[in-house]
Chains A and B, each alone.
Chain A
Amino acid sequence: MSKTSSKQMKKLSIDILLGGVLVFGFTALVLLIAGAPVFATLKNIWLGAFASTTKISQVLSVWVPLTLCACGLLFTFRANLWNIGIEGQVIMGAIGAMAALRIPGIENPVLITALAFFASIIGGSLWGLFAGLLKTKGGVHEIFGGLGLNFVAQGFILWLIFGPWKRPGIASMSGTELLPRELWLSTPPGWRVSIGGLVIGVSVLILTWLLLEKSMLGLKLTAIGQNPRAARLYDISPVAHYLQSIIIAGGCAGIAGFLQVTAVYHRLIPSISSGYGYLALLLVMLAGYRISLVPFLALFFAALNVGAIQLPIVLQLDSALSGVIQGCCVLSTLFIIGIRQKRKQS
């Protein structure tokens, strides 16, 4: 037994090494094509993410929404749903939160923040529910229903920012008016991440683990994901569980939207989701749909994102480099998995 596991460990470490070489090789190639210094660029990303507590806290402020979205996606991937609509669900969560924060007449900031929190969950899960209903009632594949809803959410937020919620005077892409200070989630001085956000992120992570690994819901979602036809013989309704999983995913994404509004931007901007929904899809794929890897890989992705922010200023490079590295990680992993499977068969 120990012999096989040590052999497996060896195999795994070779795989990780191979993946690292592939990713590094590709990134270096891309940088060379762009005429950028390879090591200086990578060093810059590293410094941009970890040089100071402020930077590290900024990484954490990206880690929280990424983890939240990834947790939600773990549910839908379990049921074999491709919840590409997660991006729109983040946006709708943010809109929900903002709508609650704009309710006039409530003075107590704690109460109104709590209201915003629940409104964001409702906004996100409602959007998830729509995608789920399009699939179960309309027979529309969730990828296309989700995309359509993403576009709708994008249009909706633009309309709000340029229409009813526009800043007094001129409407602009820079978003709505800043929230009053007392509605900002509290952030320690010098930090960029709110304690509340971290607490929410970690608790959703634990809750997700409990639900997926220890409850019947997780098992039933696995069953449905593997064989929805067989599930009916076990009196498990695929439709109900598809909807449940996508509502949970929408709720998680909604919370991410809530944090983007109350802890990061303190207003509504057109790109409030920062593409975290799509990035979380990559993240969960890279984690092999396993929750144990999600927090660590989320940290890695967040560090890349934050580290790349200063590239345009320091090296005149586009910050999209982080996305290149992230995408390359996923493809390399898929490649190694594919090669392994192929070798196993022959």
Chain B
Amino acid sequence: MIGDLSLPVLIASVLTASAPLIIIALGETLTEKSGVINLSLDGVVLFSAMAAFVVAKTTGSLLLGFLAGGFAGMLTGIIVGYFSVYLHLSQVAVGFALSLLCRDLAYFLGNPYSRVQGPTLLAGKLPFYEALPSSLQIILTQPLTVWFALLLIFILYYFFSFSKAGLCLRSVGENPAASFARGLNPGRIQMAAVLAGAFLVGVGGAAYSLSLKPGWGRPQGAEGIGWIGLALVIFGGWHPMRVALGAMLFAFLQVSGIGLQDIFPGVPSQVFQTAPFPLMIFTLVFMHYSTKNNRKQGYRENRFQRIIGKLFMSRAPKAIGKSYRQE
């Protein structure tokens, strides 16, 4: 394959590397489906990664670490939610300022914990490990975060497509005034979506400092991931499946970068570390651009296309980014 990587190793590393990003991007998907953009992702990921590491280090408990990450995320969610849902401030402005604040806060508060050893969530063998063929043994020996991320894809897919609560949440993202007219409370639903989404983002951040890139430091290694997460949601069409696939694509780029480094020793390794970010954003841009043109032609869908569309196509919630004021 690429460099020394065999196919099973490649698949395994892509799965491992994509898990935190999937959790983060799906958290943001949940928030944006309700019509609120939480632009603070990049800082929040770092902040929760720091909180998770510090708590796990001091208590020695990984579970408490992950929970701390989640609650650190939620704490920022309160600010995003209150500012954009109740004060009707520009979601972009609030998110951007909060993003920088959280990043620096993470560096500042995490400073004493830089470059120290802490608890790490390792890959675990499945109970029926021995019964598997060797390639599957490699692929399926993963940390818990991977199983959580994969499960989350299906949970969110089911939640949006088939559950009553998911329908209410989507309705608020499409037309909050109409939701209000039908007896829902758009503000409360949006707030809940922001908090739940921020919790997931926090857990994703914890997955960096406790599993994928264990430890804390400046830089931690999760810098820029939040922006990628945001881009994934938008160009993944607010659809859990596509968003998750996008996250895996990014992980693939990162992993193959490591492999390519061995092939081209002349190119500095820093370039390979940075390259996935622009590559990802522009891949997403082109994907987005080509599907947009398709949609414009307004073809009639047959039943099959409708099913495919439900699985993979989706689009922006109509009221996204606009705050709703009750009359």
Contacts and interface: CB of A to CB of B under 8 A. Distances in A.
A162 B272 CA distance: 12
A317 interface: yes
Interface residues of B, number: 46
B108 A341 contact: no
B10 to A, nearest CB: 23
A4 to B, nearest CB: 25
Given A158-B274, A317-B108, A337 B89 contact: yes
Contacts of A84: 96
Nearest to A331: B97
Interface in A300-319: 316-318
A194 B231 CA distance: 40
A331 B94 contact: yes
Contacts of B267: 159, 163
B59 interface: no
Interface stretch (A113-121, A247-255, A277-285): A277-285
Contacts of B104: 320-324, 326-327
Nearest to B292: A139
Interface string B216-237: 0010000010010011001000
Contact of B109 (A33, A145, A148, A171): A33
Interface centre among A154, A285, A324, A335 (most CB of B within 10 A): A324
A160 to B, nearest CB: 10
Given A171-B268, A341-B88, A285 B93 contact: yes
B98 to A, nearest CB: 6
Contacts of B110: 318
A127 to B, nearest CB: 13
A334 interface: yes
Contacts of B86: 342
A30 B285 contact: no
Interface in B115-145: none
Interface in A165-222: 171
B87 A339 contact: yes
A105 interface: no
Contacts of A327: 97-98, 100-102, 104-105
B265 to A, nearest CB: 12
B103 A323 contact: yes
B289 A331 contact: no
B248 to A, nearest CB: 19
A327 B277 CA distance: 25
Contacts of A339: 87
A151 B100 contact: no
A155 B285 contact: no
Contacts of A326: 100-101, 104
Contacts of B97: 282, 285, 327, 330-331, 334
A30 B277 contact: no
Residue among A134, A147, A339, A342 having the largest count of chain B Cβ atoms under 10 Å: A147
B288 interface: yes
B107 A320 contact: yes
A151 B284 CA distance: 14
Interface in B248-296: 267-268, 270-271, 274-275, 277-278, 281-282, 284-285, 288-289, 292
Contacts of B292: 139
24 contacts: A84-B96, A139-B289, A140-B285, A144-B234, A148-B282, A151-B224, A154-B274, A155-B274, A158-B270, A163-B267, A163-B271, A317-B111, A318-B108, A321-B108, A323-B108, A327-B101, A331-B83, A331-B94, A331-B101, A334-B93, A334-B94, A338-B87, A341-B88, A342-B88
Given A318-B111, A334-B97, 9 more contacts: A30-B108, A34-B108, A34-B111, A155-B271, A278-B100, A320-B104, A320-B107, A331-B79, A338-B88
